[in-house]
């Protein structure tokens, strides 16, 4: 079918427009219609329409209760007569090529008994595009078409009032009481023509594109690498990627990279064993830093030569390949995480790694996250492992396991207890992501889970081993029954996780209840009770070859830390320090920012290995990490105090604890600079990682409309054409090439409109490419009535099927100056482009096809007298590869 308006005559459309815009007005036959020198005067019903160069400019309303009687045309003069109960009028138009004069003399039947108002003239607002609104009798303005002058007044009229109405700017003349004859006068001067379309310079060009859509890392490198500089030329990944692995221990890292390149970037990855004595092919190489490649890398950048600490790696990218030279298995894995952040999609749709020389290693060997498991852990913590923690190079996961479904002790189960197999699966996911799991079973203190006293409920089980049965919180360390239970649980934990370390808790012993008050413990110094318990547990664990970790707060005097120092007077738990085996790792937690963090040194001096531990305060994460590094800590642990049945709502209820992971990861890896000075929002980074990709990777095609674009967009607001530049742009992670000329001026394919001379009725784009979805960047030049069909797309598909999509004003499209929302959910704002004369609004309209279809042709057509459909860019996407790789 042809365009909607194509078969309708011009005058018919003028009337149709007027009819559709003037509510309640009947369309009547034109009773008078004359043209001269580009002007046209039409009388239809009780309206006089003045048009010039096809565009209707003015609608004039005769005085009330009068009707058209006769019209006369003589040379450049038109005379109209109106007559009726309201009196009689004589209208005389004088016409020259660029100007029109109208004088009216209207005689009332009797002198007016009150003031008279005549809503005489309504001006098409499109005529005023680019200029300010009229307010006085004289309006002279520089519009997008050129200079326009309009004066509306009359001898004897008191004033001219302008008002915006639904169909345009209306001038109302007001006359004083007693007047008998109303004189009205109008003068309009217009430019010699409206807009003029440029001739086409060729045909639209269809470009098949390897990746027309995809989501790449557009955040800073996280955690901050220790050293890097950008190189000159990137490495381009074709559709086929070769990954060469020089060492079997690097295979997990290589597999991880392969899975990522396949799922995230649609690459076909070949993994091949390779040794440094074989010729080097173009691709991604994973090799030990101690290999001949190191010399070749060092020849390019000497910083890549020095030996690497554990977990270190160097990474280079150049047109020949990406070389990852790692100190060990961990270094290779972290290098792959960095490579994932470096991959970048160019605006030509090419996947590249920018040229780079990078040397990196962690400042702390231990970079942990602490969590409390509950039944929601698989969803929450499983995703955190894969989306947040491992990508940010955390390598330890301390899992607090109060609430497992213990085999031998079902009396401890809570509704939120996690089945052991689910906890094991979580460990498998952590290990697959290079994170070591360290179980934490609170012992001695914080033993609510042993008594069922969680959430403030009274003890319901194992009360016999509670040190204070009235506040069941600590167990009695002088009771065999205690250790039967605790060793049962430890045994289950060790069997389940087979860990290298286990964390035994032991914090805040005096928080609840009366510790050391039972009949067996009375009289013993509390620090000795404490130490004896630690020793006993430690012996149990050591016999099984498991290292011990414990919280440090009970072992600190208040003068040794600014917070979490609970070992001072009167009970002096700190004295237990001398009684404990030195191979216990002290997990030294401080959650408040402090001017100094002396505690790490205190423990180090006594021969303990120390892990600094932080929570949600970001300044504390930075300050404590730096102090812990200076004092020789093994590492840092970031705690998360959700769990106990509330992990399900944790993201919503405790967002700060999740944002803190980002700063902690950054700071634990690279302690010297503050992560807080890098300028990112921790929460928004967290959200981005947690959410994961929002669009799938897609191949497709881009239509470059530049050769047929015929109108600079800036002209539509009266700005200089150079004010808007056409270039490649992303919308919704999808790539578009906006039409532009050689100078970069942003243009559109503009279709026929009365305001644009020389524009085509339609354009046909020969596509011949498969697509599952098309996105058009479009608009109209001018506003049209809501729901008016302004044009459309007609798609011809492979089997001859035709899909027609009419564009309704207000649903799928609006004018460049109209920023009101669109009613079709497939349409949404793409860009707002600003010029000194106002903004241009472009819409993205996405049209899904039924499955993948070859689109043979797109016809873009006009269907409205004024609207002027504009097309700026077209992109098609398909899930299948469309680019054939050169062999
Ligand atoms: Zn006791």
pLDDT digit string (tens) for 605-617? 999 999 999 999 9
Percent of the chain predicted with pLDDT > 90? 90
Element (H, E) at 423: helix 420-432
Per DSSP, helices labelled H in 554-617 are 599-605
Q: Strands (DSSP E) along 307-393, which ranges? A: 313-318, 321-326, 344-345, 351-353, 356-360, 366-372
The 3-class SS string of 739-779 reads CECCCCEEEEEECCECCEECCCCEEEEEEEEEEEEEEEEEE
CA distance 778 to 101: 39
Per-residue confidence (pLDDT) for residue 727, from 0 to 100? 86
- pTM across the whole model: 0.86
Question: How far apart are the CA of 438 and the centre of ligand 1, in A?
Answer: 29
Half-sphere exposure of 771 (CA within 13 A, CB side): 31
Question: pLDDT at position 4, please?
Answer: 31
- The total of other beta-carbon atoms located within 10 Å of residue 369's CB is 26
* Euclidean distance between CA atoms 137 and 121, whole angstroms: 12
Over the stretch 457-491, which tens digit does the pLDDT of each residue have? 889 999 999 999 999 999 999 999 999 999 999 99
CA 535 to ligand 1 centroid distance, Å: 16
Cis preceding linkage at 569, omega within 30: no
Q: Which residues pair with 787 in a beta bridge?
A: none
**Residue appearing with tokens 């072992």:** 555
The Å distance, Cα 389 to ligand 1 centre, comes to 41
pLDDT digit string, tens, across residues 805-840? 999 999 999 999 999 999 999 999 999 999 999 999
pLDDT tens for residues 330-377?
A: 999 999 999 999 999 999 999 999 999 999 999 999 999 999 999 999
Q: Which pLDDT tens digit goes with each residue over 163-195?
A: 999 889 999 999 999 999 999 999 999 999 999
E strands, 190-320, in order? 195-196, 205-213, 227-230, 235-237, 240-245, 268-273, 283-288, 313-318
Q: How far is the CA of 527 from the centre of ligand 1 (A)?
A: 13
Parallel/antiparallel/unpaired status of strands 283-288 and 240-245: parallel
Q: Please tell me the distance between residue 138's alpha carbon and the centre of ligand 1 in angstroms.
A: 99
Q: Token pair of 840, please? A: 């241009």
Query: Which DSSP category does 266 fall into?
Result: -
Angle between helices 480-497 and 420-432 (to 10 degrees): 50
Output the 3-class SS for 799-836: CCCEEEEEEEECCCECECCCCCCCCCCCEEEEEEEEEC
Cα 524 to ligand 1 centroid, rounded to whole Å: 10
Pair 765, 751: CB distance under 8 Å: no
Q: Give me the residues near ligand 1 (ion), CB cutoff below 5 Å.
A: 467, 476, 478, 518, 520-521
Q: What is the Å distance from ligand 1's center to 467 Cα?
A: 5
Assign 88 to helix, strand or coil: strand
> How far away, in angstroms, is 466 Cα from ligand 1 center?
8
Size (the chain), residues: 887
To 10 degrees, what angle do helices 618-630 and 655-669 make?
30
With CA atoms as reference, report the closest residue to 304 among 321, 278, 326, 285.
326
For residue 388, the SS3 value is helix
If residue 707 lies in a helix (H) or strand (E), which one and from where to where?
A: none
Would you state the structure tokens that stand for residue 642, as one six-digit string? Answer: 């959700």
Q: 479 CA distance to ligand 1 centroid (A)?
A: 7
Sequence-separated (6 or more) residues with CB below 8 Å from residue 667 = 223, 621, 622, 625, 626, 636, 674, 675
Distance from the alpha carbon of residue 751 to the mean position of ligand 1, in angstroms? 90
Cβ-based neighbour number of residue 119 at 10 Å: 15
For residue 514, the CA-to-ligand 1 centroid distance in Å is 10
**CB-count exposure of residue 110 (10 Å: 0-12, 13-18, 19+):** exposed
**How large is the average pLDDT for residues 739-745?**
95
- Decide: 65 and 85 in contact? Cβ < 8 Å: yes
User: How far is the centre of ligand 1, averaged over its atoms, from the C-alpha of 563 (Å)?
Assistant: 28
Band (135; pLDDT cuts 50, 70, 90): confident
C-alpha 411 – ligand 1 centre gap (Å): 22
What is the bridge-based pairing of β-strands 344-345 and 547-551? unpaired
**Chain segment 257-300, per-residue pLDDT in tens:** 999 999 999 999 999 999 888 888 999 999 999 999 999 999 99
Q: How far apart are CA 504 and CA 400, in angstroms?
A: 10
First to last CA, the chain: 45
The mean of the pLDDT values for the chain is 93
Mean pLDDT of 669-678: 97
pLDDT at residue 239 in the model: 93
Among the listed residues 440, 445, 447, the one whose alpha carbon sits nearest the alpha carbon of residue 423? 440
Residue 17 has pLDDT above 80, yes or no: no
Which pLDDT score is estimated for 164?
A: 93
d(CA 722, CA 201): 19
CA 781 – ligand 1 centroid, Å? 85
Closest to 391 in 3D by CA, of 692, 622, 614? 692
CA of 474 from ligand 1 middle (Å) equals 9
Q: How far is the CA of 660 from the centre of ligand 1 (A)?
A: 39
CB 774 within 8 A of CB 875: yes
Average confidence (pLDDT) over 230-241: 96
Q: How far apart are CA 719 and CA 816, in angstroms?
A: 13
For 374, the 3-state DSSP assignment is coil
Average pLDDT, stretch 728-742?
Answer: 95
Hunting for tokens 């160069």 — which residue is that?
A: 53
Provide the pLDDT confidence category of residue 881 given band limits of 50, 70 and 90.
low
In whole angstroms, what is the distance from residue 240 CA to residue 193 CA? Answer: 56
Backbone angles phi, psi at 530, to 5 degrees: -60, -50
Which pLDDT score is estimated for 880? 64
**Do residues 403 and 449 lie in contact, with contact meaning Cβ atoms separated by under 8 Å?**
yes
CA-CA distance, 731 to 877, in Å (whole number)? 13
The answer, yes or no, to whether residue 18 has pLDDT greater than 50, is: no
Tokens of 418: 């996690």
For residue 29, the model assigns a pLDDT of 59
**Residue 480 CA, ligand 1 centroid: distance in Å:** 11
Residue 494 Cα to ligand 1 midpoint, Å, equals 26
């Amino acid at each position: 079918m042809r365009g909607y308006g194509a078969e309708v005559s011009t005058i018919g459309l003028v009337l149709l427009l007027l009819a559709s815009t003037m509510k309640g007005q009947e369309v009547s036959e034109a009773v008078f219609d004359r043209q001269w020198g580009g002007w046209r005067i039409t009388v239809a019903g009780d309206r006089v329409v003045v048009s010039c160069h096809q565009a209707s400019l003015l609608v004039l309303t005769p005085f009330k209760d009068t009707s058209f009687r006769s019209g006369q045309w003589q040379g450049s003069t038109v005379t109209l007569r109106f007559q009726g109960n309201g009196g009689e009028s004589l209208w005389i138009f004088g016409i020259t090529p660029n100007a029109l004069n109208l004088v009216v003399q209207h005689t009332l039947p009797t002198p007016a008994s009150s003031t008279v108002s005549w809503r005489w003239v309504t001006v098409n607002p499109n005529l005023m595009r680019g200029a300010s609104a009229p307010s006085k009798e004289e309006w002279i303005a520089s519009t997008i078409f050129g200079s326009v002058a309009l004066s509306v007044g009359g001898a004897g009229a008191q004033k001219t009032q302008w008002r915006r109405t639904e169909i345009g700017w209306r001038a109302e003349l007001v006359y004083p009481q007693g007047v008998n004859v109303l004189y009205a006068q109008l003068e309009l001067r217009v430019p010699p023509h409206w807009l003029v379309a440029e001739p086409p310079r060729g045909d639209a060009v269809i470009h098949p594109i390897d990746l027309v859509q995809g989501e790449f890392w557009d955040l800073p490198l996280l955690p901050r690498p220790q050293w890097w500089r950008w190189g000159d030329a990137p490495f381009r990944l074709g559709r086929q990627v070769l990954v060469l692995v020089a060492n079997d221990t690097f295979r997990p890292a290589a597999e991880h990279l392969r899975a990522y390149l396949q799922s995230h970037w649609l690459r076909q990855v070949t993994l091949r064993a390779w040794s440094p004595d074989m010729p080097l092919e173009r691709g991604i190489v994973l090799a030990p830093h101690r290999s001949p490649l190191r010399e070749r890398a060092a020849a390019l950048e000497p910083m890549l030569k020095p030996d690497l600490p554990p977990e270190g790696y160097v990474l280079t990218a150049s047109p020949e390949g990406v070389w990852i030279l790692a100190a060990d298995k961990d270094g290779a894995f972290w290098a792959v995480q960095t490579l994932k952040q470096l991959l970048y999609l160019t605006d030509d749709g090419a996947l590249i790694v920018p040229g780079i020389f990078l040397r990196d290693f962690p400042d702390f060997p231990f970079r942990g996250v602490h969590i409390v498991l509950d039944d929601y852990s698989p969803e929450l913590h499983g995703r955190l492992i894969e989306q947040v923690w491992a990508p940010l190079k955390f390598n330890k996961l301390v899992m607090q396991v109060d609430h497992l479904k213990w085999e031998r002790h079902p009396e401890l189960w809570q509704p939120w207890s996690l089945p052991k197999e689910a906890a094991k699966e979580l460990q498998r996911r952590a290990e697959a992501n290079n994170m070591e799991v360290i179980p934490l079973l609170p012992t001695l203190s914080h033993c609510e889970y042993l008594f069922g006293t969680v959430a403030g409920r009274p003890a319901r089980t194992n009360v016999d081993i509670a040190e204070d049965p009235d506040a069941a919180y600590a167990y009695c360390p002088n009771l065999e029954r205690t250790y039967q239970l605790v060793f049962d649980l430890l045994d289950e934990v060790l069997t389940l996780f087979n860990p290298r370390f286990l964390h035994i808790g032991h914090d805040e012993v005096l928080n609840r209840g009366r510790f050391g008050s039972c009949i067996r413990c009375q009289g013993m110094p509390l620090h000795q009770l404490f130490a004896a318990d630690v020793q006993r547990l430690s012996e149990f664990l050591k016999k099984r070859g498991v290292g011990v970790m414990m919280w440090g707060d009970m072992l600190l005097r208040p003068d040794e830390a600014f917070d979490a120092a609970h070992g001072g007077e009167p009970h002096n738990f700190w004295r237990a320090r001398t009684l404990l085996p030195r191979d216990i790792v002290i997990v030294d937690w401080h959650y408040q920012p402090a001017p100094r963090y002396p505690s790490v040194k205190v423990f180090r001096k006594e021969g303990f290995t120390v892990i600094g531990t932080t929570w949600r305060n970001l300044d504390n994460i930075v300050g404590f990490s730096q102090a812990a590094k200076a004092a020789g800590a093994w590492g840092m642990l970031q705690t998360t105090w959700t769990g106990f049945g509330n992990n399900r709502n944790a993201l919503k209820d405790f967002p700060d604890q999740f944002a803190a992971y980002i700063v902690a990861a950054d700071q634990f890896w690279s302690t010297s600079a503050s992560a807080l000075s890098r300028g990112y929002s921790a929460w928004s980074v967290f959200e981005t990682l947690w959410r994961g990709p929002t669009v799938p990777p897609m191949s497709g095609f881009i239509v470059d409309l530049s050769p047929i674009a015929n109108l600079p967009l800036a002209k539509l607001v009266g700005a200089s054409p150079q004010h808007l530049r056409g270039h490649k742009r992303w919308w919704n992670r999808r790539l578009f090439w906006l039409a532009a000329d050689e100078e970069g001026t942003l243009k559109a394919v503009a279709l026929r409109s009365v305001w644009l001379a020389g524009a085509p009725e339609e354009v046909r784009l020969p596509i011949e490419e498969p697509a599952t979805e098309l996105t058009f960047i479009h608009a109209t030049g001018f506003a049209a009535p809501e729901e008016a069909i302004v044009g459309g797309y007609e798609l011809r598909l492979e089997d001859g099927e035709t899909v027609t999509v009419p564009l309704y004003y207000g649903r799928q499209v609006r004018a460049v100056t109209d920023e009101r929302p669109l009613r079709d959910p497939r349409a949404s704002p793409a860009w707002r482009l600003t010029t000194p004369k106002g903004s241009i609004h472009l819409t993205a309209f996405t049209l899904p096809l039924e499955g993948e279809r070859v689109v043979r042709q797109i016809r873009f057509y006009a269907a409205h007298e004024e609207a002027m459909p504009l097309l700026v860019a077209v992109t098609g996407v398909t899930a299948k590869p469309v680019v054939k790789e050169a062999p």
